[in-house]
Chains A and B, each alone.
Chain A
Amino acid sequence: MKVQLFLTCLGENFFTPVLRDMVMLLERLGVRCEMPEGQACCGQPLFNAGFQSRTIGPARQLLRAFDRTEGYIVAPSGSCADFVRHRYPELFPPGTPEHTVAVDVAQRTFEFTEFLVKVLKVTEVGARFPHTVTYHASCHILRGLGLRDEPKQLLLGVRGLELIPLAEEETCCGFGGVFTVVNPEVSGAMMGAKVRRIEDSGAEYAVVGEPGCLMNIAGGLHKVGSPVRAVHLIQVLAAQE
């Protein structure tokens, strides 16, 4: 099995260790990884900010990078996977060669936990993480891709891990991309509520599957000096403590 790594811009710029863990974990599971050069941002930030004509450029570039590659395209983000899968085919008029590529890339693109559970059909990845954790369900993983159980199935397969339910688990953490800069006050209030719920859970770690939410929640926990650490789900699955 071969996988094309889709780094995602937030993943690449803020979470290098997560990407490295992603490669190690996939290789541990017998998957061969490739990293297409020339990939950049999928264009979602522009699209969601309303600059939809301008999204074509980045989208075209990402398609160029993944066109003529083989196998599944896997991202450490539900948001980017959701965008490529659901928006790319709409960005280019049907009947054009670009549309054909967009449909192909869209069909091959998977979020990481989705790839493990639905494609590799594994929920036990040989990880050991003897800690209490709570899981925040990111909106695009949950509603965008419909992955309600998959991330938690993977967590429950980790040895030594105790999963503590998070109150209001499915409530948005207040990230929302452009929303954080357009409406910082509301974003902060939502993040504050999420951080309180996480602290109330009593868990040592807050597990998040989405780089955007991870930046937001980790930042929020850091700001209040919380002992709770926010980590990417991939880091937990890669752990062999």
Chain B
Amino acid sequence: MGQTATHIDFRANVRAVEPQMPASVQKATNRFLGTRASVVGVFGEDRWQQLRQCGHDLRRHTIAHLDHYLELLEQRVTGAGGHVHWARDGAEANSIVLEIARKQGVRNAVKVKSMATEETGLNQALIEAGIATLETDLGEFIVQLAGVAPSHIIAPAVHLTKEGIADLFRQKLGVEAPAEPVALAAIARARLRKAFLAAEMGISGANFMVAETGTLVIVSNEGNGRMCTTLPPIHVALAGIDKVLPDMESLAVVLKLLPRSATGQKMTSYVSFIRGPSKSSKEGGPHELHLILLDNGRTRVLADEISRDTLLCIRCGVCLNVCPVYNHVGGHAYGSAYSGPIGSILTPQLLGVGIAGDLPFASTLCGACAEYCPVRIPIPEILVHLRRRVVEGDRVDGPAISPVVSAAAGAGAAALGTPWLYEFGSQALKVAGTPLSKEGWMAHLPPPASRWTDVRPMPAFGAGFRDWWRNRTPQGRRLLWRRRVLAGAAAAGAFAAIAAWRLTRKSGRD
């Protein structure tokens, strides 16, 4: 999926979620979390916490000195015989890839799973330019076939069941496909083999880029990464500028954190280290290596000292796995390449709150993501910071809400911050709620409180503690008496208002 130009309507996307989807997602995320718990258990809780802190510190150091490490990376990649390109945004990145393809007369490309290329919408750009482009990661292969975006950072087809995938294969590939993972993988594998051999260009992302040595690192489980980056004569890697690491020692730390957090593996089946193109025809492998370094809003993220930690992310996807919201809505609801908690903080910063302002609100701030994040990104903090950007605006962006909501919040703030108004409000609600309550519950309330009662009833308003407390002392009892006179008058007014509302509601039904 490419960059979204229009507003991402999270609530509308949620309503479009297919009913069986959450079960598929939860099955996978629970499996990931289960294996994660056992490998982290083996690693040892204290050691794991130390490692997380170490990962946090080194990622922070890298992001703070991004300019230095990127220049070093460019120098070392170039020194190893590779070409380095800088792309300001997704469109520029795509056009760099197309230009390389054009020069070399590329007709067929194969791809390794890459979130950066999802972010720029590279597949679409290539296909529009007449270049057959095939995703070779099994999950990506499936979602490409389905014509949808990946719904999870590390498990693109997590929203589908094996039965759904078998149906898809039957429809799109015209083959007999049993709903059996091994058989389905074999069908995909047979098709991929031909494509690997025919492709003139292999396209990948990079999980990490080691500045000191100019090494691109690809972490994968299916071996397709190695096929794509060794068989075709040209290898193009597209990666966000945030993926750089200082040296091999830092890489060793994040390579312990990433697979354990992501899939619950100690190590993935493949970890590929790519340093420059092949030096001779005898060596094999691509004779050309291009690295495209993508900004696409990342330097803007860097400019904000609170939300900057978003760039620490190593894309393990554990925040999706533990997020109760993600587990009920799946990845597509987030409307862009990155979903779940990390998507909720990254997307609004990359695309602006005018487009993605719903996303920071797609969270209960439960904090599970921050508890699991291997590099300790304070996701709830950043969510709250971005909510402010959405409603009040800051020097980076926003605001993106209607003046009506803003005025209502102002009135709310005044009521909550003025003791007599607050207390009066409590009593008024109690009186006004009385005709709406039955056995301690209010089943229907007027908007916007209807958004609560549409889902579950609300306990009846029942502020009574202060009076009970005051009745325990003489001066409290005097205060109560004075207030009762005032309250009587107010209650009459509120009662009249609510009676009027009920009447209109009733006539609306008739």
Contact = CB atoms under 8 A, between A and B. Distances in A.
Interface of A: 5, 7, 9, 11-16, 19-20, 23, 35, 37-41, 43, 45-55, 57-61, 65, 139-140, 143-144, 170-172, 174-191, 193, 215-216, 218-220, 222-223
A39 B15 CA distance: 40
B362 A13 contact: no
Given A49-B391, A220-B456, A23 B417 contact: no
B100 interface: no
A146 to B, nearest CB: 10
B274 interface: no
A171 B324 contact: yes
Interface of B is mostly: helix
Contacts of B464: 16
Nearest to A87: B384
Given A51-B392, A183-B361, A188 B462 contact: no
A7 B461 CA distance: 15
Nearest to B459: A14
Contacts of A190: 324-325, 328, 364
Interface in B446-490: 448-449, 451-452, 454-466, 468-469
Sorting the interface of chain B by its residue count into under 10, 10 to 19, 20 to 34 or 35 or more gives: 35 or more
A144 B416 contact: no
Contacts of B48: none
A58 B448 CA distance: 22
Given A40-B416, A222-B441, 8 more contacts: A7-B466, A11-B465, A13-B426, A49-B409, A50-B392, A139-B364, A139-B366, A143-B370
Contacts of B463: 12-13, 16
A61 B418 contact: yes
A101 to B, nearest CB: 15
Contact of B459 (A38, A57, A187, A219): A219
B273 to A, nearest CB: 38
Nearest to A143: B367
A184 B449 CA distance: 11
Given A40-B422, A51-B409, A176-B366, A61 B11 contact: no
Contact of B416 (A19, A43, A175): A43
Interface string B62-86: 0000000000000000000000000
B391 A183 contact: no
B417 A172 contact: no
B184 interface: no
Interface string B375-389: 000000000100111
B458 A215 contact: yes
B466 A54 contact: no
A94 to B, nearest CB: 16
Contacts of A191: 455-456
B433 to A, nearest CB: 10
Most buried by A among B365, B384, B430, B465: B465
B434 interface: no
B143 to A, nearest CB: 23
A191 B456 CA distance: 9
B253 interface: no
Contact of A182 (B361, B459, B462): B361
Given A38-B419, A176-B363, A46 B462 contact: no
Contacts of B456: 188, 191, 216, 219-220, 222-223
Contacts of A178: 361
Contacts of B257: none
Main secondary structure of the interface of A (DSSP, over half): helix
B465 A172 contact: no
A219 B392 contact: no
B368 A14 contact: no
Contact of A53 (B328, B392, B422): B392
B412 interface: yes
Nearest to B380: A143
Nearest to B422: A40
Contacts of B387: 48-50
A223 B391 CA distance: 33
A144 B368 CA distance: 10
A54 B10 CA distance: 26
A196 to B, nearest CB: 13
B371 interface: yes
Interface in B200-239: none
Contact of B469 (A23, A38, A171): A23
B392 A13 contact: no
Contacts of A223: 456-457
27 contacts: A11-B465, A16-B464, A35-B469, A39-B419, A40-B417, A40-B418, A41-B417, A46-B409, A46-B412, A46-B413, A50-B390, A51-B406, A58-B416, A140-B367, A143-B367, A172-B364, A175-B364, A176-B366, A180-B451, A180-B455, A183-B14, A186-B328, A188-B455, A189-B328, A193-B328, A219-B458, A223-B456
A16 B462 contact: yes
Nearest to A223: B456
A61 B417 contact: yes
B414 interface: yes
B443 to A, nearest CB: 9
Contact of B384 (A48, A171, A179): A48
Nearest to A64: B419
B192 interface: no
A54 to B, nearest CB: 4
B410 interface: yes
Contacts of B392: 50-53
Nearest to A214: B459
Contacts of A46: 409, 412-413, 416
A139 B417 contact: no
B352 interface: no
A184 B452 contact: yes
Contacts of A38: 419
B149 interface: no
A80 to B, nearest CB: 12
